[in-house]
Amino acid sequence: MGATAPAATPPSTKHRRPRPAPVPRPPARRTQRRDRPRRSIALTLLTGLVVIYTLLPLAWLLMSATKTQSGLQSSFGLWLDGDFALWSNITETLTYHDGVYLRWLLNTLLYVVAGAGGATFLAVLGGYALARFDFPGKRGVFAVVIGAVAVPGTALAIPTFLMFSKMGLTDTPWAVIIPSLISPFGLYLMWVFASEAIPTELMEAARIDGAGELRTFFQVCLPLLAPGIVTVLLFSVVATWNNYFLPLIMLKDPDWYPLTLGLDAWNAQASTAGGEAVPHLVLTGSLLTIVPLIAAFLLLQRYWQSGLAAGSVKE
């Protein structure tokens, strides 16, 4: 008999790997994509509300400064009146009571230049020394500076008045200038900025070349500290320009009033029966008061932003 061919056997399935079941993709990405427009719209609306809340008083002040005394009472606060009286209001404000507004403006500039300028200079020197030199008690100085930042200036106004009254300095410009020279926040800000902005290798190279400490500071380190200096200067200028409580308790002579006290005196005079000052002068004077601050922020904006961002990113 002839040999029969072996029957065909199915292929072995012992070594065959099972196919993995398809894993469904989570719809997280689609959900995130859908939520992004909602979040952006919510943030835009919130930012718009903050902008409106910030600019609304400024817009009201600007509109009110363009109106006459009768126009303030008969027109809508956020819109112009028929008579555009901005230039006449400015002229009347600057010439009222023999130009006392200009005297208050000069007093404010004196307090800003001497007080805010001196505070910035001392903060730069102190922050540079604390950032680049090691000495015993440095941690204690750091604790004192942080504690001084947490103490509000109004809490120290009464003790400062009692101390200055015993020295006979009240009712003088020194009663406003000397307290303005102390800026714990400016010192702390310059300390942090100098720690990040000045490379140690640069200072060592300057010393190897024979430069002394003063020359190293003024010619090498000071240009690198420019953004921080501008930032501290802006904060000090705003704090001194808007200072109200300290001059209120220190000064009695109207000839030494800053703009804040002078406008408050005009406002109090206008609110009394038969007062000579009228509200449109107070509003126009308030508008003229904030113009220098707005101009300073616009001109020094790039330095201010870079100074705030310095040290915030670690390499």
DSSP 210-278: T--HHHIIIIIIHHHTHHHHHHHHHHHHHHHHT--HHHHHH---GGG--HHHHHHHHHHHHHSTT-SS-
Which residues are CB-contacts of 183 (< 8 A; sequence separation ≥ 6)?
Answer: 119, 120, 122, 123, 232, 235, 236, 239
Domain at 105-254+283-309, CATH homologous superfamily? MetI-like (1.10.3720.10)
Q: Where are the domains of the chain?
A: 105-254+283-309
Please give the backbone phi and psi of residue 259, each rounded to the nearest 5 degrees, phi first. Answer: -65, -35
Nearest one of 311, 177, 174, 291 to 231, comparing CA atoms: 311
Tell me, what's the pLDDT at 314? Answer: 45
Reading the chain (315 residues) residue by residue, the pLDDT tens digits are 445 555 555 555 555 566 665 655 555 555 555 567 778 888 899 999 999 999 999 999 998 888 888 777 777 777 887 788 889 999 999 998 889 999 999 999 999 999 999 999 999 999 999 998 888 888 898 889 888 888 888 888 889 999 999 999 999 999 999 999 999 999 999 999 998 888 888 888 888 888 888 888 888 898 889 888 998 999 999 999 999 999 999 999 999 999 999 999 988 887 775 555 578 889 999 999 999 998 888 888 777 665 555 544 444
Query: Distances from the Cα of 239 to the Cαs of 119, 164, 229, 292, in angstroms?
Result: 11, 21, 15, 14
Give 204's DSSP letter.
H
pLDDT (0 to 100) of residue 39:
80
- State which amino acid sits at residue 33: R
CA–CA gap between residue 67 and residue 282 (Å, rounded): 12
Determine the distance from the C-alpha atom of residue 92 to the mean position of all C-alpha atoms in its chain, rounded to a whole number.
32
246 dihedral zone (left: phi>0; alpha: psi -120 to 50; beta): alpha
